Structures are given as C-alpha cells and as structure tokens.
Amino acid sequence: MLSAVLLSGLLYQVAQNSAPVKEMAGKREPVVRRTVKGKRKGRTLTVGHPGPQSPVVFHFHGETWLPEQSIASVYPDATIVAIYLGDNSDPYRDAYLSVRSFEKLLAEAGARRRPVILTSFSAGYGAIRSILRHSYRRVDGVLLMDGIHTDYLNRGVNPAELDVFLQFAKDATLGRKRMVITHSEVYPGTFASTREATDWLLGQLHLRRLPVIRDGPGGMKQTSEVRHGRMAILGFAGDSATDHVDHFYGMATWLRALRRL
C-alpha cells in the first residue's frame, strides 16, 4: 500500500482528475523494499567507494527509501540525499531559492567538485527549477518523473516557469548536459499537465514525438518517445493516481536511461 505521505502528494497532483478513491490506494507495488548498504550521516547515504567522478544525487519528493534504493542500484559508488518537504511544489521551490541554500546542501553531502544529478518525482520539480536558476553550471544531469508544471496563460502554458528547463533541455540535445523527463496523461485542471509542459518544450526545440508501443516498468505502457543528443522525453498512458505513482516506482529504469545518454 502507498504511504499517507505519498498519497497526499498524489491527491494534490490529480485533484481535478476523476480517478476513483479505490484506485488511489494502489493496485500493485512493483518495487520490493530492500536494505541499502552504505554509510549514513543524517539524511546523507554514501554507497560503495565514491571517487572524484562518482555522482552526488539529490532527490526531491516521495518516500526516501525508494530513491535511495533506486540510485544505489544504478550508481553503486554514489552519495545520495533524498528529501521530502511537503505535498506540493511550493515548499520545494522556496527551500532552494538562494545559492546559499544549495551550497549548504552540497556541503551536507560532501559534494566538492563531484558531478551532481538532480532527480524529482511529482511536486519535487519545484526544487530543481529553483536550483537551476542560480546554480545551473553546477548540475550535470536532471531526471523529472511525471513532474514538470506551469500555470496557464492566455489559454496556453506560461513559459516563465519552464524557461530554465528549456535551457537545460537545449544543452542536453547538444551533449552538454543529460536530461530525462517522463510524463503521464494526468490533467490536473488548474495548472498545465506534464504532457502539456513537455509539448511546449518540444515545440521550442522543434522536435516531434515518435509513437511507440512498449512495455515499461511495473506494467506501464509507453506511448511516445523523443531522443535527441543526451535528452529523452518518454510518454506513458494513464490518467489516474496509480498511473502517476508508477513513474516513481520506475525510477531505477529512468536512471539507467539517464546514465546511458
């Protein structure tokens, strides 16, 4: 069963979607929780024996055991900090508005000059957007799991909240960064969905989705794909809370895709 913490985030994400309550309880849990071996100091977990090129991965939103387990399975020599701050994007956005807030996070993880990867599920994208706006050069890779949103403006998406993601996506297409975005077909109603946000990004990049029929992790059904340089946008069927959380459970798969770019 899904925890109350994760369910509350899902309720926010699909607040104006008609998924029945019984569906929100979760039909399956495709990831089995296992103990991750490593050294823990506060919320920082170090696995293996990290070297100068071993990544420091900061994850935002959701139960912390899952990103720790997923990251350790893909990066066996890494430092991991998984953070949960609340049920919507505002706490994540506000926590990292300043350069100093991110510098403290880097110091907490002992990052020094090591590569930095930012990952988020759902509302956690708010932290990544804030960090990229002041510490863009310090970030090497980004993974957004069914979480990239903006307000509506004049019956379309408001580009002001997507500008830094567009910049990062452009650099990824040129091989300067690495970026993976996954999205569902959930339409929240009062703000732009992940599908609408990625449609806007692709329009600005002059890229088109390719239709695919492919099985994803945990029974997910992939319906579209865009790959260019070191950027990938993967679209999946589903407009319920269960479909939304599947993106979180598939984290190890998306991390492998990011690493291969």
* Predicted confidence (pLDDT) per residue in 177-231, tens digit: 999 999 999 999 899 999 999 999 999 999 999 999 999 999 999 999 999 999 9
Helical spans, DSSP H, in the chain: 4-13, 21-24, 65-74, 89-95, 99-109, 125-135, 163-173, 194-205, 241-249, 251-260
Confidence of residue 5 (pLDDT cuts 50, 70, 90): very low
Q: Find the mean pLDDT for residues 133-161.
A: 95
**Contact by Cβ (8 Å): 196, 161:** no
Query: How many domains does the chain divide into?
Result: 1
Q: Is the pLDDT of residue 27 over 80?
A: no
Given a cut of 70, whether residue 26 has pLDDT beyond it is no
* Dihedral, 255, 176, 221, 62 alpha carbons, nearest 10: 50
* Distances 187 to 174, 193, 195 between C-alpha atoms, Å: 31, 5, 8
pLDDT of residue 71: 98
CATH of the domain at 47: 3.40.50.1820
Local confidence band at 28 (pLDDT 50, 70, 90 cut-offs): low
Higher-confidence position of 198 and 112: 198
Please, how many CA atoms are within 13 Å of residue 43, restricted to the half-sphere of its CB?
Answer: 17
Q: Averaged over 145-151, what is the pLDDT?
A: 96
Domain residues for the domain of 114 are 4-260
- Alpha-carbon distance 83 to 203, whole Å? 32
Structure-token match 């309550």, residue found: 21
CA distance 3 to 25: 9
pLDDT at 24 over 50: no
Share of the chain above pLDDT 90, in %: 84
Specify the pLDDT at position 30. 64
Kindly report the three-state secondary structure assignment for every residue of 128-197: HHHHHHHHHHHCCEEEEECCCCCCEECCEECHHHCHHHHHHHHHHHCCCCEEEEEECCCCCCCCCCHHHH
Residue-level pLDDT at 112: 83
Residue type for 222, please? Answer: Q
- CB-based contact 254:232 (threshold 8 Å): no
Max mean pLDDT among 97-101, 109-113, 150-154, 215-219 falls in 97-101
